[in-house]
């Protein structure tokens, strides 16, 4: 059985989304850092659909997905959009955007919401394969 498990996904190199405009600085992850990551990941550009999956004509037929986004993360909008597009193209998706949280929040056990978020995500992932 196959599936996609996408936590704070970096799906697209579009730095002009709502979440980049609103949360591109001052919220742990930054637009400047994301641009640097993209330069390292795709030094030859992002036109290839194997680099930016949303550049493909269709996402139909992809495995079911769990998509976890964080409101204060600059790439949040593109992750949310990816989940919506997968759903629209017939892929089974379980998507949860965690409002008020930032990229990497699941790795901060001292945050009061981390454990409950982890438990919810585990349930989502188990449900993906039911």
pTM score of the predicted model: 0.94
pLDDT of residue 83: 98
Encode pLDDT of 14-38 as tens digits: 999 999 999 999 999 999 999 999 9
pLDDT over 80 (residue 1): no
CATH architecture of structural domain 4-128: 3-Layer(aba) Sandwich (3.40)
CB 106 within 8 A of CB 79: no
CA proximity to 94, closest of 115, 57, 123, 58: 123
Q: How confident is the model at residue 108 (pLDDT cuts 50, 70, 90)?
A: very high
Write b or e for each residue in 77-111: b if 16 or more Cβ atoms lie within 10 A of its Cβ, otherwise e: bbbbbbbebbbeeebebbbebbeebbbebbeeeee
Percent of the chain with pLDDT over 90: 95
Domain boundaries, the chain: 4-128
Query: By the 8 A CB rule, do 73 and 8 touch?
Result: yes
Instruction: Supply φ then ψ for residue 2, to 5 degrees.
Output: -115, 155
């Amino acid at each position: 059985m196959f599936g996609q498990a996408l936590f704070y996904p970096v799906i697209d190199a579009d730095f002009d989304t709502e979440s980049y405009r609103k949360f591109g600085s001052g919220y742990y992850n930054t637009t400047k850092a994301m641009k640097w990551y993209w330069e390292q990941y795709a030094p030859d550009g992002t036109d290839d659909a194997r680099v930016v999956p949303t550049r493909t004509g269709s996402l139909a037929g992809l495995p079911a997905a769990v998509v976890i986004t964080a409101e204060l993360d600059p790439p949040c909008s593109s992750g949310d959009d990816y989940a919506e597009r997968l759903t629209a193209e017939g892929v089974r998706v379980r998507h949860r955007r965690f409002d008020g949280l930032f990229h990497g929040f699941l790795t901060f056990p001292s945050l009061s919401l981390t454990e409950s978020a982890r438990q919810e995500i585990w349930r989502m992932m188990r449900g993906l394969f039911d």
